[in-house]
Amino acid sequence: AALLMLSTMASCSDQDSQAPATGDEAYLNLSFSTASATTSRASRAGDIGKDDETQANPNTESDIHSIKVWVFKSGTGESANPIAYKEDRPTADGGGTVNGTYTLNLRFLRKINGVELEKIDLYILANSESTKMAEKLEGKDLRSITRADLQKVTFNAPFGITKEGKAETTEVPTEGLPISRAITNIEIAKHAADTEIEAKSKSISIPLVRAVSKLHFYFARKNTAEAMTENVKVTRIEIDGNTFPKES
């Protein structure tokens, strides 16, 4: 699945400031984590919340500066519009960050065209500003953007590889690293509630995946006389051409 990429093009959508749910509406409590360096991007709802995370290094790789969430009805096609959308920043004044974890409450309608929702899909994107690709979505309303628009938007700069084989970015940018995930077929009955407080007891734990990866190579000499590795030198490392995508 294509990495979601968006930049801030609208003011913060504060759904929590609206009137309480009336019975036709429900709340989700989403608990995001970004520390993992190994979490799969698998989209099956059963994969969410696995306790197999490892800490990022440096810690700023896991910083959340901003986050955007789209809710779609499961089973809808590429032309579908979201049934809910929310964007937020970690602090009330919009000037801070959080490291590793962040919780967001989101409200949506239980019924669409009079039909009760059974399952939903979540599209999540953090730190979209670091991709600097606003022109890809210029003129689009994030509240009504289609599923296809989210799936097809990609980025490369400023996280690509130069012609000399060097990384364009070698430090975590001030806007943070782009982080995302798509989770499909989430059962409403298991996770939705009539109030924010009730939703906390049904919270969905979602490990997010960083879009930018790095490789480390470690070499060790054998500490035995017969190993004859004292004068061995690594002169070159070659990576298969298909390992690194030209865009994400």
* Residue partners of 221: CB distance under 8 A and separation at least 6: 227, 229, 230, 232
Q: How many helices (H) and strands (E) does the chain have?
A: 3, 12
The confidence score (pLDDT) of residue 27 equals 94
Q: Which two tokens stand for residue 248?
A: 């994400």
DSSP code of residue 136: G
Average pLDDT over residues 98-109: 88
DSSP code of residue 161: B
CA distance 12 to 38: 31
Q: Which two tokens stand for residue 217?
A: 């190579």
Sign of CA dihedral 168, 171, 175, 178: positive
User: Residue 245: which pLDDT band, with cuts at 50, 70 and 90?
Assistant: confident
82 cis-preceded (ω within 30 degrees of 0):
no
- In this structure, the number of other CB atoms found within 10 A of the CB of residue 45 comes to 21
Cα 22–chain centre separation: 30
The confidence score (pLDDT) of residue 93 equals 52
CA distance 230 to 146: 59
Average pLDDT over residues 32-56: 55
pTM for this entry: 0.77
Q: Residue 72 pairs with which residues in a beta bridge?
A: 121
CA distance 29 to 36: 20
The confidence score (pLDDT) of residue 96 equals 61
Strand 25-33 and strand 84-88: pairing?
unpaired
Beta strands in the chain (DSSP E): 25-33, 63-64, 67-73, 84-88, 98-99, 101-109, 111-112, 115-116, 119-126, 179-187, 204-207, 209-210
Q: Which two tokens stand for residue 172?
A: 């975590």
User: Which range, 129-138, 155-164, 173-182, is most confident?
Assistant: 173-182
* Residue partners of 38: CB distance under 8 A and separation at least 6: 52, 53, 54
Average pLDDT, the chain: 78
Nearest to 165 by CA among 216, 241, 227: 241
CA distance 62 to 98: 8
What DSSP string describes 108-123?
EESEETTEE--EEEEE
Q: Tell me the pLDDT tens digit for each residue of 16-25.
A: 433 344 458 8
CA distances from 224 to 132, 229, 233 (A): 52, 9, 17
3-state secondary structure of 196: helix
